[in-house]
Homo-oligomer: A and B are copies of this chain.
Amino acid sequence: MKFPKPYTLKEISELIESEYIGDKLFSIYGMNEIHVVEAGDIVFVDHPKYYDKALNSAASVILINKKVSCPEGKALLISDDPFRDFSKLAAFFKPFKNANKSIAETAKIGEHTVIQPNAFIGNNVTIGKNCVIHPNVVIYDDCYIGDNVTIHAGTVLGSDAFYYKNRPEGYDKLVSCGSVIIEDNVDIGASCTIDRGVTGNTIIKEGTKIDNQVQIAHDTIIGKKCLLASHVGIAGCTVLEDEVTLWGQVGVISGVTIGRGAVVYAQSGVGRDLEGGKTYFGSPCDEARKKYREMAGLKVLPEIIAKVNNI
């Protein structure tokens, strides 16, 4: 997430009441998680295991819970609780605004786009041309939707990331300040849920078609011309390259990449990166032909056991 204008290191340190190391006028342009961080951004890190990764990332400012030496050309924000303070910044820059009507005055809606009754369109939402937003669709603040997009009834875009830190006193939520981007010519079925990114964007690329009751978690990127059948669930920070097909009830774990053109059969579970151009099956899934051989083996297993026990 980029800030609406650059802030200085001192200003940010005052917002979170932290110390800082670096030039007080050091310019900061945004904040992002480690996997999407860019020059000019703040990143946060609260575990020694990841200090080096954060300090050596593209981030210009590291919000960290130890006074380490500051890398050349960067700055540090020293906090006893970087998770809390990162959340504090997210809430400062993207405060929750309650709506006083179903379609926000700040929403931009393109020509020939139809918004059906009982839909909710939040603040600063952009919807392109020739879209149909069916009844009871909910589009949270700041989501961006391209042209020729159809969204069926009851679908929710932009709900919060399911992202918590386990503290002794309870789960602590990281405030989501990212968004959802739906590119041109995407169709989304009824009662789907697509969460906003934590700091970046959840993106559905051009021409992808999504069936009913599909769940796509925060920061996940779905390539062009993918097909996602009903009840598919995709966890956070996952990448589907272009032209991936997931059949019904497939589940995908967080953080993996599914290669271009891969096909995953119904009810499979994807627990690791999958090479493109191949067909997969099973929970956890493997190449379909291997799985079919295992299944054929399973069918004759009782008689094999009898044979072995008779030896």
Given contacts A138-B136, A138-B154, A267-B269, contact A162 B229 (CB under 8 A): yes
| Residue tally, chain A, CB below 8 Å to B | 77
| With A136-B154, A171-B225, A302-B297 as contacts: A190 and B190 at CB distance below 8 Å | no
* CB-based nearest B residue for A209: B171
Contacts of A295 in B (CB 8 A): 284
> Does A223 reach chain B (CB closer than 8 Å)?
no
Which stretch in A21-29, A49-57, A59-67, A114-122 binds the other chain?
A: A114-122
The residue among A120, A138, A185, A211 with the most chain B CB atoms within 10 A of its own CB is A138
Does B154 lie within 8 Å of A156, measured CB to CB?
Answer: yes
Taking a contact as CB atoms under 8 Å apart, the answer to whether B136 and A136 are in contact is yes
- Report how far A162 CA is from B140 CA in the complex, Å: 25
Q: Are A135 and B301 in contact (CB under 8 A)?
A: no
Knowing A207-B171, A293-B302, the reply to whether A251 touches B253 (Cβ < 8 A) is no
Q: Is the CB of B138 within 8 A of A212?
A: no
Interface: A217 (CB within 8 A):
yes
The interface residues of chain A, by DSSP majority, are classed as loop
- Given A117-B99, A269-B267, decide whether A190 and B193 contact each other with a Cβ distance below 8 A: yes
Instruction: Indicate with 1 or 0, residue by residue over A234-253, a CB within 8 angstroms of chain B CB atoms.
Output: 01000000000000110101
Q: A307 interface residue, CB < 8 Å from B?
A: yes
When the two chains form the complex, which single residue of B100, B120, B170, B266 contacts A153, counting CB atoms closer than 8 Å? B120
A219 within 8 A of B: no
Number of copies: 3
Complex interface bits, A266-298 against B, C-beta within 8 A gives 1, otherwise 0: 110101000000000001100000100111111
Is there contact, CB below 8 Å, between B212 and A162? yes
The 9 closest A-B pairs by CB, nearest first: A120-B135, A138-B153, A297-B301, A193-B212, A156-B190, A159-B190, A170-B207, A162-B211, A153-B156
Contact residues of A with B, CB < 8 Å? 96, 98-102, 114, 116-118, 120, 132, 134-136, 138, 140, 150, 152-154, 156, 159-160, 162, 164, 170-171, 173, 185, 187, 189-191, 193, 195, 206-207, 209, 211-213, 215, 217, 225, 227, 229-231, 233, 235, 248-249, 251, 253, 266-267, 269, 271, 283-284, 290, 293-302, 304-305, 307-308, 311
20 other A-B residue contacts (CB within 8 Å) besides A118-B120, A152-B160: A96-B132, A116-B120, A134-B138, A136-B138, A152-B159, A154-B154, A154-B193, A156-B191, A190-B193, A195-B212, A211-B217, A213-B215, A215-B231, A266-B271, A283-B283, A294-B299, A296-B302, A298-B298, A298-B301, A301-B301
